[in-house]
Structure 1
């Protein structure tokens, strides 16, 4: 009797052929990559010009123009704007206002959207329509009514007035956006939370917020940057130098007949550096939110 020899496959060889698919780039992929690189360079070109002129002297700028590298790089323009505008105070004012508005705006947006999109408040469609129409109203139309109201309540010429205005404006946009997202929220998840005995607050904090956090993060970044860059309403409501923001300090550099281009470039560079850092810090959350919105 002959024993049959059974060959057991070794642990190193599984006996199965594994097809390792490799992505082969086509000419279309390379062409798209080239266009993306060109687009990135076009978008970065103004920032590069701004940085070059920020380190020039006014004589160098007048002799060689704005499109050349500085012959003798200097930080005189940056130092001059730093001192003349009291930049640290302006930075703190802008940062506090933008941060508080972003936090309050996101909080109100979430609460309003939860009530309108998930809570199914009666007449929610009409409310969302009114919010959308309010977003379309130009800011110029708000100046005189708000001026009169803030004068009467005693918060004119204070940072609180700017915080109140932009919290309402940003939360209106956030409510309109999040209401559409929460309106399509999976009902099975909400019903499961209700069966488990979760209250409305627990459903919001433990179910809705974790799932919608990427979208909320995008709103937070946008609210911060939008508020940081605002000029017209702060110009009308912030009169004293100690409560003004960075955009108002930039406007003070533009005279009626003359302008120091190098100092203005230095001031502009200083004003956008915080927003660039803010975007870099929250870049991952921003990308996650955009991808989540696209998948949604």
Structure 2
């Protein structure tokens, strides 16, 4: 009570603003949760903001079967984990060469990687489509995973290069004097000290890859290779729409991300905190 009585009007205003922001952020998820367990008749009779007259779990089961959600969930997990591995490994090697190795034309390489990040997918999708056709990678999860992993590695390289450029040179020089080679310095010194940044990159790359829509829409056309976003999009037809089924599909798409954040929230918090302290 004493702490609450010491709050100033400005602190109360900030607290109220944060509360309003949180409610506005959670409102769409609450609406999805309410409508995911309604019948179509219940939705038409009482609208989208009412509580379900009876919690209908059959909607979730129906959507799961119609979209073959198990296969799409496995595809998303497989491709997203593959993207994380490819992107982080490439970014680590590139940034080690640019940030610590100080290779020639370092600035030009950084400008190139920055340029890759700002290129729109719409401008790249047609060349990539024809290239995949020629290479026999079209409609294959391997080619798609490599493409997205290499694309994300450009952002990771740009980010890690700025971190490695301020890396303590004394540690590297001391390790070199002790006889450590470049690989030893990378794995024994640079990698452990850079893990907070790498963990944040892993989380971001996984979420970005999970939410990818344009690339898998064009490159993964068979039902056996499609990811979760494509499965959810198949619930919306040109002339038909079932709001309760769409809500159930959206809920199924959100749950894996929530579980992922709950598992890795500690790593994400540590990475962000380490970057702020630095």
After TM superposition, the score normalised by the length of structure 2 is: 0.95
How far, CA to CA, are the matches of 1:224 and 1:77 in structure 2?
Answer: 28
How far, CA to CA, are the matches of 1:68 and 1:183 in structure 2?
Answer: 55
Q: Deviations over 1:162-198 (max 9, x none)?
A: 1011011110110011111111111112112222221
Structure 1 unmatched ranges of 5 or more: 1-21
Query: 2:173 aligned with 1:191, yes or no?
Result: yes
Tell me which structure has the larger Cα radius of gyration: 1
Aligned length: 274
Mapped contact 2:86–2:146 kept (Cα < 8 A): no
**From 59, 64, 72, the counterpart of 2:46:** 64
Distance of aligned partners of 1:71 and 1:162 in 2 relative to their CA distance in 1, 3 Å threshold: same
How far, CA to CA, are the matches of 2:15 and 2:187 in structure 1?
Answer: 41
Regions of 4+ moved over 4 Å:
28-31
**From 57, 66, 78, the counterpart of 2:60:** 78
SS at match of 1:121: coil
SS at match of 1:152: helix
SS at match of 1:242: coil
Q: In proportion to residue count, which structure has more helix?
A: 2
How far, CA to CA, are the matches of 2:176 and 2:242 in structure 1?
Answer: 64
Report the CA distance between 1:36 and its aligned residue. Answer: 2.7
Distance of aligned partners of 1:25 and 1:92 in 2 relative to their CA distance in 1, 3 Å threshold: farther
How far, CA to CA, are the matches of 2:148 and 2:60 in structure 1?
Answer: 30
How far, CA to CA, are the matches of 1:25 and 1:283 in structure 2?
Answer: 32
Q: Deviations over 1:32-91 (max 9, x none)?
A: 344333322221111111111101111111111111111111012211111111110010
1:293 maps to which residue? 275
**From 145, 156, 161, the counterpart of 2:127:** 145
Query: 2:260 aligned with 1:265, yes or no?
Result: no
After TM superposition, the score normalised by the length of structure 1 is: 0.89
Report the CA distance between 1:220 and its aligned residue. Answer: 0.2
Instruction: Note the aligned Cα RMSD (angstroms).
Output: 1.5
Structure 2 unmatched ranges of 5 or more: none
How far, CA to CA, are the matches of 1:224 and 1:25 in structure 2?
Answer: 43
